[in-house]
């Protein structure tokens, strides 16, 4: 009996509870990450997502090892607070997964992991790990409507900087919006090359560098963090200059092929070298202040963790583990139950036949002026086949000789990842500058009912266009990207996938003074269009127009 007791040096850790929690996490998030790898993360915009995820997990392991080696990972469980955070995370997952809102779906992982840490170890331990969870924010694909709005100024600035640098160097280069013409070649400065996503990635790179170095000087850290934005701008400019020179000297195939991908490496190498260079300069400036490092956070090498520490880390009681697993399984079922579906098959598309050859005094003529594309991707190519089920573009002329360009784009399914593109986003991507953009109540509905839309004046490509448009999603008229998303989200919560249509009319004017008259002509033209469209086609306006956004 005494011999038996002497062999028991430490209590064994039961692996089952920890395995149950791990199984729940894998069941919830493996399908999400598979979809990300085949969807958002496979695009140039969000190609940094997997890298950020791996780095975040490695850093979490690194930080846990530091805390355990220094005996700073102490258990002070706060099950109620952890459970509340966990519930928030699972609700976020349910809404995000069912409605395809990646910000909620992918972001829920941060809430879920934080809830588990707080429940098992307490808020103080979570604070010691906060940067790992913060860093995960950079792996979340941002909504396209947000990226499109915020990325344009950066693209224009990078394009202008590239134009001035290469012109100063003697190259034949010109710019129209975000389109660069160098020699015989045209390059479109895409979101992936000079947009908000690359800024976020470089910001993440800088913050990770700062967190690993852990310099004690507050001045140095604040200055370095604030300089990451201009560093990102400089690195993006270097990348576009590099691409332009490759295209000019070696041809378009080289610029768009292997070397285009290699330019991404140039971007991050440039940014990393700039960050290290700026940090070295700041280090020299503050080197004599004599501040010591925090022993809790100073070591960069992986510390030695005492034997058995990792096993004790995952010593989880069985009952809470079963509750966590049950909650995760319920979340999976709830997300599946709330996923919207098409309630019925849409009727055969008939827009092309429904739009008549004569609309009031306006007669159909062969297209004499190229219209702005209805949807473009990051490389400037058309996306109409992927977004819309039917597109109609026509040109009409009245007895006074005014040409009216009409564009209709219909999509039977409006979802978060595939929705109508707004003209104020597509026009700048094709070299236009939006001069004015204003909401307008358009008397184009049935019996003259008002429909929320917009008037836009755009300049570019050697012309000025006055544009009137509205978008219909289901029975509402959201005239912003966020408004569209909210409408699709509300419909999705009711289990409904609605259709959508973009109706756009544009006229070439000589200057802004002619725009008000053009808007009146467009409104009259579109009102007649709505009244004369043949029945049975997809409605241009809803039966009962509703003001929305």
Catalytic residue among 45, 193, 394, 426: 193
Instruction: For 338-360, give one letter per residue: b (16+ CB within 10 A) or e.
Output: bebeeeeeeeeebbeebbeeebe
| CA–CA dist 516, 525 (Å, integer) | 14
Q: Which two tokens stand for residue 115?
A: 């809830």
Backbone angles phi, psi at 325, to 5 degrees: -60, -45
CB atoms within 10 A of CB 500: 26
DSSP type of residue 382: B
Catalytic residue among 175, 239, 472, 504: 239
Q: Cα 170 vs. chain centroid, distance in angstroms?
A: 37
**Three-state secondary structure string covering 391-411:** EEEEEEECCCCCEEEEEEEEE
312: annotated active-site residue: no
Q: 234 with 270: CB under 8 angstroms?
A: yes
Instruction: For 141-177, give one letter per residue: b (16+ CB within 10 A) or e.
Output: bbbbbebbbebbebbbbbbbbbbebbeeeebebebbb
> Nearest Cα to 117, choosing from 25, 26, 204?
25
| CA–CA dist 209, 212 (Å, integer) | 5
CB atoms within 10 A of CB 424: 21
239: annotated active-site residue: yes
The catalytic site residues sit at 193, 239
């Amino acid at each position: 009996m005494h011999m038996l007791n002497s062999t028991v040096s430490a209590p064994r850790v039961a692996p089952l509870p920890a395995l149950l929690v791990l199984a729940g996490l894998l069941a919830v998030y493996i399908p999400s990450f598979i979809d990300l790898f085949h969807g958002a993360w496979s695009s140039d915009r969000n190609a940094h997502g997997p890298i950020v995820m791996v780095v975040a997990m490695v850093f979490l392991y690194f930080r846990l090892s530091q805390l355990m080696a220094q005996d700073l990972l102490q258990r002070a469980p706060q099950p109620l607070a952890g459970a509340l955070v966990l519930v928030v995370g699972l609700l976020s997952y349910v809404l995000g997964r069912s409605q395809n809102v990646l910000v909620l779906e992918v972001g829920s992982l941060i809430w879920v992991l934080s809830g588990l840490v707080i429940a098992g170890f307490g808020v103080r331990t979570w604070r010691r790990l906060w940067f790992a969870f913060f860093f995960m924010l950079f792996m979340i694909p941002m909504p396209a409507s947000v990226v499109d709005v915020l990325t344009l100024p950066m693209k224009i600035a990078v394009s202008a900087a590239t134009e001035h640098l290469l012109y100063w160097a003697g190259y034949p280069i010109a710019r129209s919006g975000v389109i660069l013409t160098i020699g015989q070649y045209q390059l479109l400065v895409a979101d992936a090359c000079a947009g908000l996503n690359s800024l976020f990635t470089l910001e993440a790179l800088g913050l990770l560098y700062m967190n690993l170095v852990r310099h004690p000087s507050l001045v140095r850290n604040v200055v370095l963090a604030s300089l990451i934005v201009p560093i990102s701008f400089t690195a993006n400019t270097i990348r576009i200059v590099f691409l332009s020179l490759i295209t000019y000297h070696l041809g378009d195939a080289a610029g768009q092929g292997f070397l285009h991908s290699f330019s991404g490496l140039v971007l991050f190498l440039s940014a990393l070298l700039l960050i290290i260079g700026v940090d070295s300069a700041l280090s020299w400036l503050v080197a004599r202040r004599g501040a010591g490092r925090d022993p809790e956070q100073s070591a960069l090498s992986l510390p030695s963790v005492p034997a058995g520490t990792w096993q004790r880390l995952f010593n989880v009681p069985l009952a809470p583990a079963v509750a966590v697993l049950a909650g995760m399984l319920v979340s999976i079922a709830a997300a599946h139950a709330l996923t919207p579906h098409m309630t019925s098959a849409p009727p055969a598309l008939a827009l092309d036949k429904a739009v008549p050859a004569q609309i009031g005094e306006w007669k159909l003529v062969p297209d004499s002026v190229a219209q702005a594309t209805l949807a473009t991707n990051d490389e400037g190519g058309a996306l109409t086949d992927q977004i819309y089920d039917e597109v109609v573009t026509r040109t009409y002329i009245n007895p006074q000789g005014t040409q009216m360009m009409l564009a209709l784009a219909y999509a039977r399914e409006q979802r978060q990842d595939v929705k109508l593109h707004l003209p104020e986003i597509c026009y700048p991507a094709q070299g236009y500058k939006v001069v004015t953009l204003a909401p307008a109540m358009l008397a184009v509905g049935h019996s003259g009912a008002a429909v929320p839309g917009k008037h836009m004046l755009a300049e570019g490509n050697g012309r000025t266009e006055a544009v009137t448009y509205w978008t219909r999603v289901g029975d509402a008229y959201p005239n912003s990207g966020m408004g569209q998303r909210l409408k699709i989200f509300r419909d999705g919560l009711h289990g409904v996938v609605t259709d959508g249509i973009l109706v756009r009319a544009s006229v070439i004017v000589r200057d802004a003074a002619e725009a008000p008259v053009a808007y009146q002509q467009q409104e009259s033209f579109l009102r007649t269009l709505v009244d004369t469209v043949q029945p049975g086609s997809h409605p241009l306006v809803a039966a009962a127009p509703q003001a929305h956004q």
